[in-house]
A and B are shown apart, each in its own frame.
Chain A
């Protein structure tokens, strides 16, 4: 059942077409349309629409403006790296190329408003003009006066123009400190599970029945809904995994109505997809290829994060291990771990964990170079001369971003470092050199 959109001033059949193109968004489109009013009437100077990603903000705007043939300029703030591009886009869509070419090389807002006014005298608006700003949160990072000026564009250019901002971030985070013209706020709520099901079921496969596809979507949502509500992401996942879902059907093992068997077949597959495709560990192309090569199980294929394993020289490995130990162990325990004859130290002193939170929870601590080298000499069995190559290996570890230099105040004299690798990574490294790192970590004592 498609609700009717009503607004005088527009043709009835056009509104019907719009309503058909906007499933589950009739209410929002209706509100928006009623705020926009009839084409020749004034509308509110600025409307701010916020909602989650893929909740149909751009889609509704696009369909409304296009189907109702309203004069509009759509500006994506991601593309506008300078304000000149933004101005040019607006002038181009409203007045054609000639107006856009009038802009000087590095235009100020003043130039833009002046040219807009000039053009406006020649071509006054018969209908409300709309400027749609997508990803409006980026406007905050541009000039400080840009956002307040755009908010009151209607007043500045004295034209029937309405600016519509689309953003994922709430308006409270936009407000400049001296205040501005407040826009009309409009929220696009997220799609409920039923609505997602309804929208996703629309793009069914022609060779299968609608119920079959709908049951597939149901299973897909059952797995992914608790993690992801992004329509685009879900649609992508649905398209990727459908062939796997149909497989038993093609082989003739089950019938279409045999939902339980189909579910048993697809569920582990989808769970695996969450750890791989959803995280973009495995690209969509790889995933599709994997499904075609039936025999090969999907697990062994190594995703992006498995490739983080790097081949390092022997001493670099030990340097990295030493850096990890220095980062995650408190300095007062070094004596106990790395000195052979550390004399009598009460064991209870060390075993007592007075800090509740372990270092693996708080993250790495910075350490000086001296400490790194001391631990390094202690963990490497053979005698190593402190040659230039050892020091250059430290700095190359920094360039590889396995270590980070903490304070940039001094390059040579007592630099401080932090270890920036994960536990799994360092365990893998220490296994290659037969070093039991867990024995040396204070947290795991």
Chain B
């Protein structure tokens, strides 16, 4: 079957949707590399040049890529590597070692991982032999023996670089940077981190060996570019099997981005955060609502996704509390107002609640102390209230000092939304003085 034939064929809608979901989900969830990274042209060029110098000319380098979470650090590095590895010579030559600060939590584990990834002699299968000191000596020996002209360059990628700085004595970093400074085997150390103050974490001797080359990735861009990015993220590629469907889809996406109500939601999202990740999550929520019966993203879907994204989780939890628990929270709010944020205990809260009950004729909520205690403990389990000091065993439960972890406006908003909230409880919450 020729390629031409496939392109012309009209697939049934179900098949199209499956393909669409597959492609877009890989893009949004699996963080598939885009064809061409956008908005990071200069950084891309800089990093590519740097790594090529290591890979081709055997120059040792170190660089830090710094940027907030979801700014595309890994994407940048991966796309640079992809481009670099297209060259035959580099592909043959370059060795890669990928380390992650989350996984390699100390130098011993990191060292084993390096030895394993470099396939050195003391590796049998995937087991590494020898103690930490032996491993380190062996590795350094191996790196030292090499020189610029003959040995293969090694690329060290340290993801979550700031976590490596917390290792004891920063031995690994020291040794890596030391090798990169002296005329030994050519290595490039690329660190990825989200901490802007990462250089302050390094010891003096480590810092002095680092080349102080930093690549900053910031979530810049205007709202117009943001809208464009939404559009490109949602658009189908050229080689989609059903051309007509892809064209319709891309047009519908374009129309969607021009919709006023959609723009409003996107602007709100843009004002909250500009990184790729949160945008991907937002688009994923929209995409998940595309079905065979409704093969386009409608404005309503975007609004719904916005609603899910901006929902206040604590208000949601307040909605599910029983009326007794809500009354306790209102009592706490009053205590907070009267005593200006002083911590309180159950006795005070119950006392406040009793004061409210006394003023009312019908005592529908006249619960015993243990029932109130149980409700109070439920609130503590939900972490809506928190003990002031951790020592829970020492004081009696009813005298333990607590703090309310809610804002007044949150409470009032939750009260408005509460299903079948009794009027007197509402009035009690409104009244300024208990």
Check if A and B associate: yes
| Residues in chain A within 8 A of chain B (CB atoms) | 6-9, 31, 34-35, 37-38, 40-45, 50-52, 55, 108-110, 113-114, 118, 143, 145, 148-149, 152, 154-156, 160, 168-173, 178-182, 184-187, 189-190, 192-193, 225-229, 274-275, 278-279, 281, 305, 357, 360-364, 404, 418, 420, 422
Residues of A within 8 A of B322 (CB): 225-229
The answer to whether B320 and A52 have CB atoms under 8 Å apart is yes
The answer to whether B69 and A363 have CB atoms under 8 Å apart is no
B431 within 8 A of A: no
Bound form: Cα–Cα A357–B352 in Å: 12
The residue on A at minimum CB distance from B313 is A170
Bound form: Cα–Cα A418–B281 in Å: 53
Bound form: Cα–Cα A178–B30 in Å: 22
Residues of B within 8 A of A40 (CB): 22
Contact (A148, B281) CB under 8 Å given A38-B21, A108-B109, A170-B317: no
The answer to whether B313 and A178 have CB atoms under 8 Å apart is no
The answer to whether B26 and A363 have CB atoms under 8 Å apart is no
Bound form: Cα–Cα A313–B313 in Å: 54
The answer to whether B104 and A110 have CB atoms under 8 Å apart is yes
The residue on A at minimum CB distance from B381 is A168
Extra pairs beyond A154-B29, A228-B322 (6, CB < 8 Å): A6-B291, A8-B14, A38-B21, A44-B281, A170-B383, A181-B69
The answer to whether A43 and B394 have CB atoms under 8 Å apart is no
The answer to whether B382 and A364 have CB atoms under 8 Å apart is no
Residues of B within 8 A of A228 (CB): 322
The answer to whether B419 and A192 have CB atoms under 8 Å apart is yes
B151 within 8 A of A: no
Mask, B349-384, CB within 8 Å of A = 1, is 001000000000000110110110011000001110
B278 within 8 A of A: yes
Residues of A within 8 A of B347 (CB): 360-363
Q: How far is the CB of B19 from chain A (nearest CB, A)?
A: 10
Q: How far is the CB of A299 from chain B (nearest CB, A)?
A: 14
Bound form: Cα–Cα A152–B74 in Å: 13
The residue on B at minimum CB distance from A179 is B69
Residues of B within 8 A of A7 (CB): 291
Interface residues of B in 10-29 (CB under 8 A from A): 14, 17-18, 21-22, 25-26, 28-29
Bound form: Cα–Cα A184–B26 in Å: 16
The answer to whether B314 and A168 have CB atoms under 8 Å apart is no
Interface residues of B in 138-195 (CB under 8 A from A): 162-163, 194-195
Bound form: Cα–Cα A275–B366 in Å: 12
Contact (A37, B368) CB under 8 Å given A169-B383, A173-B383: no
Bound form: Cα–Cα A43–B24 in Å: 11
Between A and B, 13 residue pairs with Cβ closer than 8 Å are A31-B288, A42-B29, A43-B29, A44-B281, A110-B105, A114-B116, A181-B277, A184-B285, A187-B313, A227-B375, A278-B371, A360-B347, A362-B347
Q: How far is the CB of B69 from chain A (nearest CB, A)?
A: 5
B103 within 8 A of A: yes
The answer to whether B25 and A42 have CB atoms under 8 Å apart is yes
The answer to whether A145 and B102 have CB atoms under 8 Å apart is yes
Residues of B within 8 A of A45 (CB): 29
The answer to whether A154 and B30 have CB atoms under 8 Å apart is yes
Q: Which of B21, B316, B374 contacts A187 (CB 8 A)?
A: B316
Mask, B126-139, CB within 8 Å of A = 1, is 10000000000000
Residues of A within 8 A of B21 (CB): 37-38, 41
Bound form: Cα–Cα A281–B369 in Å: 13
Mask, B25-57, CB within 8 Å of A = 1, is 110111100000000000000000000000000
Q: Which of B103, B289, B319, B398 contacts A156 (CB 8 A)?
A: B103
The answer to whether B25 and A43 have CB atoms under 8 Å apart is yes
Mask, B84-121, CB within 8 Å of A = 1, is 00000000000000001111110001000100100000
The answer to whether B105 and A305 have CB atoms under 8 Å apart is no
Bound form: Cα–Cα A41–B383 in Å: 36
B308 within 8 A of A: yes
The answer to whether B368 and A275 have CB atoms under 8 Å apart is yes
Bound form: Cα–Cα A52–B419 in Å: 16
Residues of A within 8 A of B227 (CB): none
The answer to whether B396 and A363 have CB atoms under 8 Å apart is yes
Bound form: Cα–Cα A420–B77 in Å: 61
Bound form: Cα–Cα A220–B127 in Å: 63
Residues of B within 8 A of A55 (CB): 320
Q: How far is the CB of A200 from chain B (nearest CB, A)?
A: 16
The residue on B at minimum CB distance from A405 is B394
The residue on B at minimum CB distance from A274 is B371
The residue on B at minimum CB distance from A109 is B103
The answer to whether B126 and A420 have CB atoms under 8 Å apart is no
The answer to whether B399 and A362 have CB atoms under 8 Å apart is yes
Bound form: Cα–Cα A181–B319 in Å: 28
8 closest A-B pairs by CB = A363-B399, A190-B320, A170-B313, A34-B288, A110-B103, A149-B102, A52-B320, A226-B323
The answer to whether B100 and A156 have CB atoms under 8 Å apart is yes
Residues of B within 8 A of A154 (CB): 29-30
The residue on B at minimum CB distance from A171 is B313
Q: How far is the CB of B132 from chain A (nearest CB, A)?
A: 14
The answer to whether A178 and B195 have CB atoms under 8 Å apart is yes
Q: How far is the CB of A421 from chain B (nearest CB, A)?
A: 8
The answer to whether B102 and A189 have CB atoms under 8 Å apart is no
Mask, B319-342, CB within 8 Å of A = 1, is 111111000000000000000000
Bound form: Cα–Cα A42–B22 in Å: 7
Contact (A109, B102) CB under 8 Å given A9-B18, A184-B285, A187-B311: yes
B1 within 8 A of A: no
Q: Which of A41, A278, A364 contacts B399 (CB 8 A)?
A: A364
The residue on A at minimum CB distance from B370 is A279
The answer to whether B320 and A108 have CB atoms under 8 Å apart is no
Q: How far is the CB of A225 from chain B (nearest CB, A)?
A: 7
The answer to whether A110 and B278 have CB atoms under 8 Å apart is no
Mask, B55-77, CB within 8 Å of A = 1, is 00000000000001110001000
Of B102, B313, B324, B374, most A-chain CB atoms within 10 Å: B102
Residues of B within 8 A of A38 (CB): 18, 21-22
The answer to whether A420 and B396 have CB atoms under 8 Å apart is yes
Residues of B within 8 A of A145 (CB): 101-103, 105, 163
